[in-house]
């Protein structure tokens, strides 16, 4: 009948409408999936770039660390033997050139002296016997606080005079400072006649090195 026909047409229209809605929903689902896939790919790309950047930063940091370690090792002075620092010639932060002395390093062990003893006196000497020798000295008042450099030159001038101009700069510039309180200095110049002279044919010149001074032939 006409009424049933209308109902059937309405059902068809509803079904067609539902199909269109399903198509639209399917299309939206497809595009949403593509969008999510693109978003995920973008996040993965960003993460990979961040990892790559972090790896480069780590490599750069390791290189800087290695350079700092090398600089630290180069700034460390290693003594070839046991001893003590007797003098410091440079200050922290100063620029130095290759070959410039930085410290005066030595040992304060007891000195060994080889001496000839007359056979008449040998009975008075025993192994391990102590020896005392006193030398005269002179005290000079210097102003290290206000006239540090002048005080250094005064000491060096005294040494130069006592050594017949052989030692001209015993205390290098920069060793003394306003905190210096006392400087003990000794100098000797000896030139005498040998009791038994060396054989001239067995004598030859050799280099004698002095700190911060040229070599001397002796």
Sign of CA pseudo-dihedral 133, 139, 144, 150: negative
Which of 13-27, 65-79, 114-128 is the most confident on average? 114-128
Kindly give, in sequence order, each residue whose CB lies less than 8 Å from that of residue 211, ignoring residues fewer than 6 positions away: 101, 104, 172
Q: How many Cα atoms sit within 13 Å of 51 on the Cβ side?
A: 6
Please count the structural domains in the chain.
Answer: 1
For the entire predicted model, the pTM comes to: 0.34
d(CA 92, CA 69) in angstroms, rounded, equals 19
Give pLDDT tens digits for 124-140.
888 778 877 777 788 88
Question: Is 105 within a domain?
Answer: no
pLDDT classification of 154: cutoffs 50, 70, 90: very high
- Examine residue 118 and state whether it is found in any structural domain, yes or no: no
> Residue 4 sits in which domain range?
1-76
pLDDT (0 to 100) of residue 46? 67
Tell me: pLDDT of 93 over 70: yes
Is 64 inside a domain boundary? yes
Say if 58 falls within a structural domain.
yes
Confidence of residue 189 (pLDDT cuts 50, 70, 90): confident
**Within a domain: 196:** no
User: Does residue 162 sit within a domain?
Assistant: no
32-47 pLDDT, tens digit per residue, is: 555 555 655 666 666 6
- Residue 170 is predicted with a pLDDT of 86
Q: Per the domain annotation, does 176 fall within a domain?
A: no
Q: Does residue 98 lie within any of the structural domains?
A: no
pLDDT tens column, 51-61: 677 777 777 77
pLDDT reading at 169 higher than 80: yes
């Amino acid at each position: 009948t006409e009424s049933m026909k209308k109902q059937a047409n309405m059902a068809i229209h509803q079904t067609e409408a539902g199909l269109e809605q399903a198509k639209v929903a399917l299309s939206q689902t497809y595009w949403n999936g593509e969008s999510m896939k693109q978003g995920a790919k973008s996040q993965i790309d960003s993460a990979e770039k961040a990892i790559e950047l972090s790896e480069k930063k780590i490599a750069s940091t390791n290189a800087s660390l290695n350079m700092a370690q090398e600089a630290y090792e180069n700034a460390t002075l290693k003594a070839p033997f046991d001893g003590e620092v007797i003098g410091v010639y440079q200050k922290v932060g100063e620029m130095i050139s290759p070959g410039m002395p930085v410290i005066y390093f030595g040992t304060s062990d007891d000195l060994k002296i080889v001496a000839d003893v007359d056979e008449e006196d040998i009975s008075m000497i025993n192994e391990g016997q102590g020896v005392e020798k006193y030398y005269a000295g002179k005290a000079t008042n210097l102003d290290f606080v206000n006239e540090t450099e002048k005080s250094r030159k005064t000491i060096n001038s005294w040494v130069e005079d006592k050594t017949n101009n052989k030692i001209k700069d015993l205390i290098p510039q920069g060793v003394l400072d306003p905190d210096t309180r006392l400087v003990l200095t000794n100098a000797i110049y000896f030139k005498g006649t040998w009791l038994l002279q060396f054989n001239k044919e067995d004598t030859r010149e050799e280099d004698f090195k002095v700190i911060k001074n040229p070599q001397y032939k002796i």
